[in-house]
Structure 1
C-alpha cells in the first residue's frame, strides 16, 4: 500500500502541474480551477447542449456555490463562457462555453491526448487497456 500511495501522490502532483500548463495554454490568465470548470462544463454539455446550471457544475466539481460563482465570473470575463437564459425558467441563467472557449478547450485536450499517446506508445495495447480499466475503477470507487 505504501507504494500505491506514493505513486498516486506523484501522479496527482504531475496532474496538477499539467492542469496549470493546459490552463495557461487556453488563456494566460486562466488557472487550474478555471480549467477544471471548463472541462466539467464540456462534459455536462453532452447531456445539456443548451447550457448547464452553475449548481450542476458546482456539484460535479464538489465546490461551494460561492467558489463556483467566482470561477464562472472569471471565465466569463476571459470570454470562455457565457450566460444565457434558461428556457425552462425565465428567472434562471445557464452557462455554456463560448465558441472561443470550446475551440480552445478542444485544442488543449487534443494536445493532452497526443502527449499521453506518445508517452504510452511503447506499452503493449493490453497494458494501456488495463490501465484505463483500473483508473476507471479507482475513479468510480473514489467518487
Structure 2
C-alpha cells in the first residue's frame, strides 16, 4: 500500500483537477450553466429518473436540483412526465433537443481534451482512462456527504 507522502501528493494533484474542470466549464454555452450541464449529462448516462435520484447521485439539495431542472425544462432540454408508480412524482427525460445539446457538449469537451493532451501518447491516454475508471469504481457513483474533517492518515498506513 502507498505511504502517507504519496497520498498527500495525490491530494495535491487531485486538487489540480479543478483547473481541468474550470476549462471544461468555460466551453459551455452561455445558456447552459455547469450545474444544469451536470444534470443533463447524468440523465444522458443513466436515463430517465426522478429528481430525488438526481439529488442523491449528485449529492445536492432538492432545491438546487429543482432550479437546474426548471432551467433545463424551460429551455426544452428535458421533460417532466408523470411517474406511473406515483402520480405525485415526476420522471425526468431528455428531449431530442437535450440529446442534441448533450452531444454538442461532448464534442466541445472532446476537442478541448484533444487540444490540451495532443502531445500525450495513446498509451498515456489509455493509462489515464484506466486509472480514472478504477478511481471512480473505488469511490462509487453515489456520492455521500464527506466527513468535513477526515482523520489524518497514520504514518506507514
TM-score, normalisation: structure 2: 0.73
CA radius of gyration, larger in: 2
Residue 108 of structure 1, aligned match among 98, 105, 109: 105
Whether contact under 8 Å (1:19, 1:35) holds in the other structure is no
**Secondary structure of the corresponding residue to residue 80 of structure 2:** strand
Alignment: residue pair count = 134
Residue 23 of structure 2, aligned match among 11, 18, 23: 18
Residue segments in structure 2 that go unaligned for 5+ positions in a row = 1-5, 141-157
- Give 1 or 2: higher helix fraction: 1
Query: RMSD of the alignment, in Å?
Result: 2.0
Greater relative contact order (CA < 8 Å, ≥ 6 in sequence): 2
1:19 CA drift (Å): 3.9
Residue segments in structure 1 that go unaligned for 5+ positions in a row = 46-50
TM-score, normalisation: structure 1: 0.79
Whether contact under 8 Å (1:53, 1:95) holds in the other structure is yes
Partner of 1:99: 96
**Secondary structure of the corresponding residue to residue 60 of structure 2:** coil
